[in-house]
Amino acid sequence: MTEVANKVIIVTGGTGLVGQAIKAVVDKEEKDPNEKWIFLSSKDANLLEMEQTEAVFKKYQPTHVIHLAAMVGGLFRNLKYNLDFFRNNTLINDNVLHSAYKFKVKKVISCLSTCIFPDKTTYPINETMVHDGPPHESNFGYAYAKRMIDVQNKAYHQQHGCHFTSVIPTNIYGPHDNFNLEDAHVLPGLIHKTYLAEKNNEPLVIWGTGAPLRQFIYSHDLARLFIWVMRNYEEIDPIILSVGEEDEVSIKDVAELVVKSMDFKGKVIYDTSKSDGQFKKTASNAKLRKYLPDFKFTPIEEGIKESCDWFLKNYDIARK
C-alpha cells in the first residue's frame, strides 16, 4: 500500500526562477517522504480567473501553498503599466488566498518584494515598515498590490484563524531567470546584454549611472529559506529573506562581476540619460538571523558565475 504524504504543497508560479530553485533544492537536499510537491505553471490554471484557481485547488487538495505567481517586470515595464500591475496582481492574490481559505489550506506563504517599502524612509528597512508611506512612484501599482497580501494575511487570520504569512526577498537572481531585455530585472538583463555585446562585437551599454545599491540573494539560497519558512515559521507577520546590509553592492559592481564571469573584453558604457530608479532599499535581515544565525549565503561572485554559466549553456531554452 502506498503511503500518502502528510503535506501536499502546491507552488504557484512553479516554473519561474524561484519555483525552479525550490524544485532543485527539494530534489537534491530537502526531500521528505511526508511531502508531495506540485509545481504549477500558467498552463495548469489562469490564476486571474477564480473558477480556474478553485479548480486547481480542488484537484490537488493542498495542505500548504507557496504563492510565487505574479505579473512581474523590470523598472521600465513597471513605469509603463502601473495599472496592469496593480489590477492583475490584486486579482491573482485574492483568488489564491480565498481558494486557500475555502479549501482549508493549513499554511500559505506568499512572496512580496523590497520594492513595496516606502520611497522616503530610514535605512535599513525592516518588516514593521511596509505600510509607513507611499512606495516609489516608478512601481506603485505592483507595490500596493503586494502590500495588500500583508493586509489580507492579517484579515484572514483575524476573521478565520488562517495561517497565511509572507516573505520579503531582496533582488533574486539565478538559473531559470527571465532574461528578456524589456522585462528582466537588473542582473539577468545585464547577463543577456553582455552576451549580445560579445556576440555582436559591440560595446556593453548599461542604463543609468551604475551607482544604485542593492542586496542580491541567490535563488537556491532563497529556496532553502522558503522551505524553512514553510516547515518552521509560525508568525503571520512577514519576514525579510536577505543577505546582510554589509553585502549590499552597486549595480556597477554587479556589472563588473558579469563582465568578468562572461569574459567580456569590449567597452562598457553607462547611459546616464536613463533612470536609475530607487537609489537604495537596504533591508535588515536581523529577524531572519534571530531564527537562523548560522545560515550561509552563496557569495555573489559564485552565484553570478553560476547564473552566467547556466545562461550560456541553456541559451536556447532561457526565457528571453
Give the catalytic positions in this structure: 142
Copy the grid coordinates of residue 281: 532599499
Copy the grid coordinates of residue 257: 562581476
Q: Please give the C-alpha separations between residue 176 and each of 77, 83, 227, 242, in angstroms, as whole numbers.
A: 20, 27, 19, 20
Contacts (Cβ under 8 Å, ≥6 apart) of 91: 47, 48
Closest CA to 11 of 68, 49, 74, 63: 68
**Helical residues (DSSP H) of the chain, grouped into ranges:** 17-28, 50-60, 75-80, 82-102, 140-160, 186-199, 219-232, 251-261, 286-291, 300-313
Distance between CA atoms of 244 and 289, rounded to whole angstroms?
9
Identify any residues that bridge with 64 across adjacent strands, giving them in sequence order. Answer: 9, 107
Q: Are 180 and 121 in contact (CB under 8 A)?
A: no
Cis check: omega of the bond before 169, within 30 degrees of 0 = no
Distance between CA atoms of 263 and 61, rounded to whole angstroms?
48
